[in-house]
Amino acid sequence: MPLITVVSAKHAPGATTTALVLAAAADPLTLPIVLEGDADGGDLAARTGTLFDPGMATLVEHARNGGAVEDLGLHAHVLPTGVRLVVGLIDPEQVSGYAADAATLLAPLLRRTGSLAIVDGGRWGSAAAEAWATRSDLVLVAMRPTVDSAEHVAARLPSLRRAASAVRPLAIGDTPLLPADVAVILGCPVSFLPLEPATARAVGEGRIGLAALRATKLFAAAERVLAELSVTGTGLNGPGDDVDRRSARRRLAELSRRLTA
Ligand SMILES: Nc1ncnc2c1ncn2[C@@H]1O[C@H](COP(=O)(O)OP(=O)(O)O)[C@@H](O)[C@H]1O
Ligand SMILES: [Mg+2]
């Protein structure tokens, strides 16, 4: 099963929430697991009101000691959506004890489990995000659809593409720019999740079960994203990076007229 890392380029667009929503929308047979790999994270234990232990620190220790793949789940909390969550720590000194090695130790273990693993990699530019990206099948770049965010993502695409085998920007919200506009600015396909603040908060706090989440727009959009990225029970075919350059140029001209009107 694929290993997907979600990163952000700027501010807090919703990388952590996106990792949780995508995992919840995945086929339960893929036994989705989310890992808080963000070296500046540690948000999820606090938000979901769970303990920090077990979590990333105990899982990395498990891997260091050559622990069994089958026991990986013992380091996760199970959210009401059914998603297993391995929470990060919050104290920077403790985080530095495992963050640097986490991807190296855990990526091979995760692959052997056969689960769909989604890592919250945090801000692109950190060593932890890069370590996860290089070991992932796909890196999703969460962003808000603004011109400045698009510029930030555009500036980071070359380093992201050098590190990861596939990169897909993911716009959260559709104003002021439509996902198609962001795609024109970035010159590549862009995935989309709607803004749905109450649902996003409930997911981030582990307060919503699968039945209620299934009824939301965010869930339906997350299913579409997984389908478009070909994240299936058997693997990931990889998103294409092709764009129709001629129509992109035409739409870029239209877009700049609209933005300056
Ligand atoms: N799809 C969404 N719709 C509305 N609000 C969202 C969405 N995704 C995230 N958020 C909100 O944005 C804020 C930051 O989200 P978070 O996932 O912590 O971002 P990051 O990990 O990028 O810092 C939170 O208040 C969260 O509820
Ligand atoms: Mg985060």
Question: Which tokens belong to 219?
Answer: 């869930």
204 lines ligand 1 (CB under 6 A): yes
pTM of the model: 0.92
Mean pLDDT of the chain: 91
Handedness of CA 47, 48, 49, 55 (dihedral sign): negative
Pairing between β-strand 77-78 and β-strand 84-86 as defined by DSSP bridges: antiparallel
Pocket test for ligand 1, best of 10, 16, 17 (most atoms within 8 A of CB): 17
**Per-residue pLDDT tens over the stretch 32-85:** 999 999 988 889 998 988 888 899 999 999 999 999 999 999 999 999 999 999
Q: Which two tokens stand for residue 83?
A: 């998603």
Atom 12 (ligand 1): residue with closest C-alpha? 14
pLDDT band of residue 237 (cuts 50, 70, 90) is: low
Q: Is 196 in the pocket of ligand 1 (CB under 6 A)?
A: yes
Q: What is the CATH number of the domain that holds 13?
A: 3.40.50.300
Q: Which pLDDT band holds residue 240 (cuts at 50, 70, 90)?
A: low
Find out whether the beta carbon of 16 lies less than 6 Å from any atom of ligand 1: yes
Residue 244 has pLDDT above 70, yes or no: no
Query: Which residues sit with Cβ closer than 5 angstroms to ligand 2, an ion?
Result: 16
What total of structural domains would you count in the chain? Answer: 1
State the alpha helices, DSSP H only, in the chain. Answer: 15-25, 43-48, 56-64, 92-96, 99-113, 127-134, 147-163, 179-186, 197-204, 210-214, 217-228, 245-260
Please name which of 144, 150, 158, 170 lies closest in space to residue 239, comparing C-alpha atoms: 170
- What confidence tens digit (pLDDT) does each residue in 148-191 have? 999 999 999 999 999 999 999 999 999 999 999 999 999 999 99
**Structural domain range at position 232:** 3-260
Q: Does 206 contact ligand 1 (Cβ within 6 A)? A: no
